[in-house]
Amino acid sequence: MRGPGDFAPRLHRRKPIRCGRGIAAGLGERPSRREQSPLVVRCLGCFLRGLSSMKRRLPLFLLALTSLAQAAPPPPLNRFAPDSVTPPVTTPFPGGKFTLGEKETVVFVGGTNFVREAKSGELEALLTKPFAKQKPVFRSMAVDADTVYLQERELNFGTWRQQLEAVGATVVIAQFGQMEALDGVAKLPEFVAAYHRLLDELSARTVRLVLVSPMRFEKPVSPDVPDLTKRNDDVRAYAAAVQSIAQQRGAVFVNLAEARYAGAAEGRGSAGRLTDGSKRIADNGVHLTDLGTSLLADVIINSLGQPPARKPSGHPELLAAIVAKNRLWAQCWRPANWSFAYGDRTRESFSKPAGGQPDLQGALAQHRPLLMEADARIAAIANDEKAPPPPPADTPPPDERALTPEEQLATFTVADGYEVTLVASEKDGVVKPIQISWDERGRLLVACSPSYPHPEVGAPPRDFVLMAEMKDGKVSKAWRYADGLTMTDGMEPGDGGMFVCDYDELLHFRDTDNDGKADQRRVVLSGFGIGDTHQLINSINHGDDGSLWFAQGLHVLSHVETPWGIARLDQAAVWRLRPRTLRLDGFFNRAKSAANCWGVVTDDWGNIFHKGGDRPEGYYSQPGLVRAATGFVPDDYHRVGGIFQSPIKTASIDLLGSKALPDDAQGCAVIAGYMASKVELHRILDDGSGFRTTQRPVLLRSSNNAFRPVDVSQGPDGAIYVADFYNPIIGHYQASYRDPKRDKTHGRIWRISAKGRPAIQQPDFAKMDAPALLQQLDSPERWTRYQAQRILFWKPTDEVLKALDAWTAKVTDEALLRRALGIYEAHEMARPELLNCLLASKDARVRAYATRMVGMWSDRVPEAVTYLKKSAADADARVRLEAIVAATYVASPWAVEIPGIASTHPRDKLIDYALTQSIRALKPQWQPTLALLTFGGNAAARDFVVKIGGAVPPPEHPGKATYDSLCLNCHQANAKGLPGIYPPLAGSEWVTGDKAALIKMLLHGLSGPITVKGEPYGTGNPIPMPPSGLDDQKTAAVLTYIRANFGNQADAVTPEEVRTLREQHKDRTTLWTVPELTPAK
């Protein structure tokens, strides 16, 4: 990024441009691609130095502006840009009053609340009606978590000026300062400087600006969510700063910080909180509810001097047309799969044309005429004219013939002692199942995504969650619980309804009239990335402490506003949400454990594991679950902690525990082998501070590659249920997004059961109160325990605590008391006495979990540092590991003494990893007060902390980033490839041999089968290797990296060698074949 006023284009790495560079970089010193990253204006002096730099470059600046004004829009903007660029608007609003002329284009910019306004259509409807004759056009460029400091976008997205020119913007309505106010008044000078910088970018297109202040925070319903009304004086200070900026720039100002909302009343010290607590303006004290978007729209329109002729709710046709148009605009402006359309994946097969459909860029351009029709429809409705009906949406072509469930069943081979039966298919409404789950009534829940991998042009959202009643292991009745989802990748019951991972949002649905269908929809959090639809947030489930765990993949830039501030993850990672507090923590950022994390599970002792979907391995997660400041980048964990090894890619994971299964399956991990059409079992064994795994015989495999197990789950009867995506094409990258072989209409759920073992009969949870549910925690059935815990997590806190306190006073089994700790934590209630008792347990597994709780409760346990120091010296390695990680949850400079102490005790690779991450994460706390820390007189502990804390991470090979982003998905992190499909690079004669052949492969791609080390690859259905699209420098760097790593020892490739071969074959347009690259004998 060239400054806070620019979009921040992203490839993978974030390398901030430092102070004094930003403005100059935007005016002639274009940074390299790796430098186009977030810039934070750190001080007013930095801003002024930038102005001085700009003055020196003024002639160049004016020349650049002239060039920009004459240039056509860059190719990525052609998807919505008009044929010609209109001149910029250089005159302010007449008389300083807001008005709209004929066919003006109004652009909204801001953060999450303006995103919600766009999705509601309320503000746009109120602006459309009084200016109906002028036929204005509205475009929202608001993005979740945008601030004046950072508006991060995908690679090649374009600058603000380019974006505004492309839509012909004449007016910009901006709202900033809401999240920024959490920084306090001390940062106001930086806020002002950054906002001016951003407005310079916006006003280069139009000087007609409307600046909307932040609104006051509302008191949250939950006492566990931060009460940000205590920060409303800061909000008022930021609003005053915005007003001053508006006055300086001749902009119209709207003050939400002092607004009074019609029908609202002051309550509990909060402004704008309605008397009826169920009808709130902000659902978490920060983000607008449906009612809030309506009331805020009223305030804004009245402040602009344009009282609405009629509320949008009184004109449903207009509001519906606006909502539909804004959905269409979002699909075009910031679409799904950006990385394949315009980012760093444009040469992959996914973006190519197929089935009579255009390439992905062409598909996005098809939105342009639809947008024009949508605008015309809105104008007609606003003028009370007969509006043309919306055009029919594209429909996917019919699928090629699929095997019937009976035919598919004949392709299965099942492990001895097991059998497989059909549970449900497309005949029952199962279409492209992604995740399966269960409610306490034993009903099967299926997240279905027929929209994957890319939405049909102009089509409304059509993903859904299926709910089904079960009888004898089969679906007896099924219906859609929630539909109209954009692209769903998971769901989990909870909080009286269901949490759903949908595209860029985490949603919550509730069925209030008990008809089995959701009638309430609430956005819990939004701003999760959409750059690659097979890497969206996914696989949500509860942990032992009531946390909600889910994951995301490589090309997903997530920026999420929460009451705690903005949570950011740049790439593949694991999320943990504390649902009562809304605290969101991200771990393993920048793909440090997998490039596409998919699946999280908790074992019977609270140990957390997660899977990678882009590789065979999964991970014991705890060593990397350090809490750190936003922007913290951990070290690579894959080479340290990879377990669940298998010959080929796998995905989701569950753990088994039921009398309905054989003894040798108890405690095993069952894993979905989607790539090889199989279901695996892995035994988990203790290994020092962590675990190791051994693979057991394959549980189920199919001879037909349309069987695609993408999720596995143990059901209420103890059997193993498998979500079968049913598709001959499973790779996202390897086939066109519109390949006609991509099945869109089928899906199956299969049941694997042990022969001769009766199905488990579950208790009636609906009839149980809290004491009865606590009794179920001692059940031998893992499913029973999980459901009992989950229900207890969400029952009223007073009821649960009363029962839990009474129960723990009588229970002596420490395994059960450990579970009680998790339930207390789910209700955000500490019990120091119980914690102290379990810290002294003879069972190391109990001590380890209690140690973790010390960190979570450190703000309520005064002795937290003392407890953790003791655990750091525990005889058990896993207890020491938990202490190291828990230290990062303690807000004290003395917390670093905990990993310091642990460093002086026996260590293994996982402890070493955790030590490094925790010391680095804690550095902002301990470094300023290092002289005060004594480490109990342990000089070795202090020296270790100083050494690790001061160590500069070894520089990353310049070719590694390219390998990780372009090569790893197929050839894997260890460069061993996938048997029979992707050839290995480790030890390959093609890698260490003729450099020219290797360079040619990267420049132009490779087609057809290839033999490596005597083994054939790609003989059945060969997947071509596309041209890399890399420049000479990056081509040389990645080839040099591959030739010098993974056990290879070969000399470097130079950019000159690449350049020479590129010039020699500059006219080549086809992929190379192996015979062409094989030297004649």
Answer yes or no: are the C-beta atoms of 584 and 562 closer than 8 Å.
yes
Strand partners, 638: none
Q: Is the pLDDT of residue 802 over 80?
A: yes
Contacts with 66 (C-beta within 8 Å, 6 or more apart), sequence order: none
Give the end of a domain, one of 71, 94, 122.
Answer: 71
Tell me if 332 is assigned to some domain: no
Last residue of a domain, one of 71, 106, 123: 71
Could you read off the pLDDT of 172-200 as tens digits, one per residue? 999 999 999 999 999 999 999 999 999 99
Q: What is the largest CA-CA distance in the chain?
A: 88
* Domain boundaries, position 46: 1-71
Residues 128 and 243 both lie in one domain = yes
DSSP state of 963: I
User: What is the signed CA dihedral for 795, 797, 802, 806, rounded to 10 degrees?
Assistant: 70
The answer on pLDDT for 1046 being more than 70 is yes
Q: Is residue 1046 part of a domain?
A: yes
- Compute the half-sphere exposure of residue 649: CA atoms within 13 Å on the CB side of its CA: 28
pLDDT digits (tens, 9 = 90+) for 990-1008: 999 999 999 999 999 888 7
Q: Place 18 in a pLDDT band, splitting at 50, 70 and 90.
A: very low
Do residue 1033 and residue 905 come from a single domain?
A: no
pLDDT of residue 267: 38
pLDDT at 263: 47
Does pLDDT of 14 surpass 90? no
Per-residue pLDDT at 954: 67
**In contact, 454 and 336? CB cutoff 8 Å:** yes
Co-location of 972 and 862 in the same domain: no
* Angle at the Cα of 945 from the Cα atoms of 939 and 948, rounded to 5 degrees: 135
Task: Examine the domain organization and report whether 689 and 550 are in the same domain.
Answer: yes
Asked if the peptide bond before residue 82 counts as cis, ω within 30 degrees of 0, the response is no
Q: Which domain CATH number covers 680?
A: 2.120.10.30
**3-state SS assignment for residue 686:** strand
Q: What is the pLDDT of residues 434-453, one digit of tens each?
A: 999 999 999 999 999 999 99
In a domain, 367, yes or no: no
In whole angstroms, give the CA distance from residue 96 to residue 692: 69
Average pLDDT over residues 347-355: 93
Sign of CA dihedral 1046, 1048, 1054, 1060: negative
Output the pLDDT for position 579.
97
The closest alpha carbon to 1040, from 965, 970, 985, 977, belongs to 985
What backbone torsions phi and psi does residue 484 show, to the nearest 5 degrees? 70, 25
Q: How far apart are CA 25 and CA 64, in angstroms?
A: 12
Domain count for the chain, please give it.
5
Look at residue 551 and tell me whether its pLDDT is greater than 90: yes
DSSP string of 732-743, one letter each residue? STTS-TT-TTS-
Instruction: Please name the residue that has the structure tokens 């921040």.
Output: 8
Residue 832 exposed, middle or buried by CB count within 10 Å (0-12, 13-18, 19+): middle
Residue 2 lies in a domain: yes
Note whether 808 and 836 are within 8 A (CB): no
Over residues 455-481, mean pLDDT: 96
Percentage of the chain beyond pLDDT 70 is 90
Q: Examine residue 575 and state whether it is found in any structural domain, yes or no.
A: yes
Least confident interval from 412-421, 737-746, 968-977, 1039-1048: 968-977
Looking up tokens 């859904």, which residue turns up?
Answer: 464
List the structure tokens of 1050.
């070969």
Distance CA(337)–CA(250), nearest Å, equals: 39
Average of pLDDT values for 409-414?
98
Length, in residues, of the chain: 1081
How many whole angstroms separate alpha carbon 77 and alpha carbon 547? Answer: 41
Task: Tell whether 840 is covered by a domain.
Answer: yes
CATH number, domain containing residue 308: 3.40.50.1110
Query: Quick one: pLDDT band at residue 57, thresholds 50, 70, 90?
Result: very low
pLDDT in tens, 190-247: 999 999 999 999 999 999 999 999 999 999 999 999 999 999 999 999 999 999 999 9
Torsion of CA 182, 188, 189, 191, to 10 degrees: 60
Identify the domain boundary among 315, 349, 379.
315
Token pair 């405690």 is found at: 667
Is residue 364 over pLDDT 90?
yes
639 pLDDT above the threshold of 70: yes
The model carries a pTM of 0.89
> Residue 28, SS3?
coil
Same-domain pairing of 999 and 907: no
Q: Give the count of beta carbons closer than 10 Å to the beta carbon of residue 721.
A: 27
3-state helix, strand, coil in the chain (%, to 5): 35, 20, 45
The whole-angstrom separation of Cα 253 and Cα 27 is 29
Strands 252-254 and 209-212 come out as parallel
How many Å apart are CA 495 and CA 790, to the nearest integer? Answer: 9
The encoded tokens of residue 234 equal 């800061």
What values do phi and psi take at 114, rounded to 5? -75, -30
Q: Tokens 């230290």 label which residue?
A: 887
Q: Are residues 474 and 611 in the same domain?
A: yes
Where is mean pLDDT largest: 26-40, 815-829, 948-962? 815-829
Residue 1070 neighbours by CB under 8 Å, 6+ apart: 1004, 1007
Would 991 be classed as within a structural domain?
A: yes
Counting residues of the chain whose pLDDT is more than 90, the rounded percentage is 78
pLDDT digits (tens, 9 = 90+) for 237-292: 999 999 999 999 999 999 999 987 654 444 333 333 223 345 789 989 999 999 99
- How far apart are the C-alpha atoms of 353 and 1020, rounded to whole Å? 23
973-993: pLDDT as tens digits: 889 888 888 899 999 999 999
Give the residues across from 499 on adjacent strands.
Answer: 492, 508
Mean pLDDT across the chain: 89
β-pair partners for 508: 499, 522
Rounded CA-CA distance 297/281 in Å is 12
Same domain, 487 and 570: yes
Q: How far apart are CA 435 and CA 465, in angstroms?
A: 10
The mean pLDDT of 41-47, rounded to a whole number, is 38
544 and 606 fall within a common domain: yes
Q: How far apart are CA 922 and CA 566, in angstroms?
A: 19
Q: Are residues 946 and 967 in the same domain?
A: no
Q: Is residue 454 located within the same domain as residue 576?
A: yes
Residues 662 and 750 placed together within one structural domain of the fold: yes
Q: What is the pLDDT of residues 646-691, one digit of tens each?
A: 989 999 999 999 999 999 999 999 999 999 999 999 999 999 999 9
Q: Are 264 and 295 in contact (CB under 8 A)?
A: yes
Question: What pLDDT does 953 receive?
Answer: 65
The rounded distance, in Å, linking the Cα atoms of 567 and 432 is 31
Query: Is residue 265 in some structural domain?
Result: yes
CA dihedral sign of residues 181, 183, 184, 186 = negative
Clarify whether residues 737 and 690 are in a common domain: yes
Report the alpha-carbon distance of residue 898 to residue 32 in Å, rounded: 41
